[in-house]
Amino acid sequence: MLHYHETHQFTLGAFKCTIIRDMMFTYQGEHYFSNVDPSEVSSALEQYNQTPEKIPSPFVSMLIELGDQKILIDTGIGYMTQPMEFQGNSIQFKGRTIEHLQALSLTPDKISHLIITHCHPDHIGGVCDENAQPFFHNAKHMIHQDEYKFWTTSKADYVPELFKYFIVQNIHPLKDVHMYLLTSPEDEVIPGITLLKVPGHTEGQVAVRIESQGEKLLFISDIWLHPLHIEHLDWQTTYDPDHQLAKKSRIQMLELAYKENMLVQSFHFDFPGLGHIDKSSKVWHWVPL
Give tens-digit pLDDT for 141-157.
999 999 999 999 999 99
Q: How many domains does the chain have?
A: 1
- The answer to whether 77 and 59 are in contact (CB under 8 A) is yes
Is the pLDDT at 2 greater than 60, yes or no? Answer: no
Global pTM reads 0.96
Q: In this prediction, what percent of the chain has a pLDDT beyond 90?
A: 89
* Tally: H helices and E strands in the chain: 8, 16
Give the Cβ contact number of residue 278 at 10 Å: 15
Average pLDDT over residues 26-52: 97
Range of the domain at 145: 4-288
- Residue 44 pLDDT greater than 80, yes or no: yes
Give the tens place of pLDDT for each residue, 229-243.
Answer: 999 999 999 999 999
pLDDT over 70 (residue 3)? no
186, containing H or E segment: strand 186-190
Task: Using DSSP bridges, classify how beta strands 140-144 and 113-115 pair: parallel, antiparallel or unpaired.
Answer: parallel
Number of other residues whose CB lies within 10 A of the CB of residue 124:
27
**pLDDT score of 81:** 81
Confidence of residue 1 (pLDDT cuts 50, 70, 90): very low
Query: Using an 8 Å Cβ cutoff, are 98 and 58 in contact?
Result: no
Is 20 strand, coil or helix? strand
- Given a contact cutoff of 8 angstroms between Cβ atoms, the answer to whether 265 and 244 are in contact is no
Q: Alpha-carbon torsion 55, 121, 88, 200, what sign?
A: negative
The answer to whether 277 touches 284, Cβ cutoff 8 Å, is yes
Which positions ≥6 away from 204 have C-beta within 8 Å? 118, 143, 144, 145, 146, 147, 148, 149, 150, 182, 197
Distances (CA, A) of 259 to 42, 191, 254, 279: 32, 22, 8, 10
| 8-state DSSP, 51 | B
Residue that wins the pLDDT comparison between 69 and 82:
69
State the CATH number of the domain containing residue 226. Answer: 3.60.15.10
pLDDT per position as a tens digit, 160-203: 888 999 999 999 999 888 899 999 999 999 999 999 999 999 99
What pLDDT shows up at residue 87?
A: 67
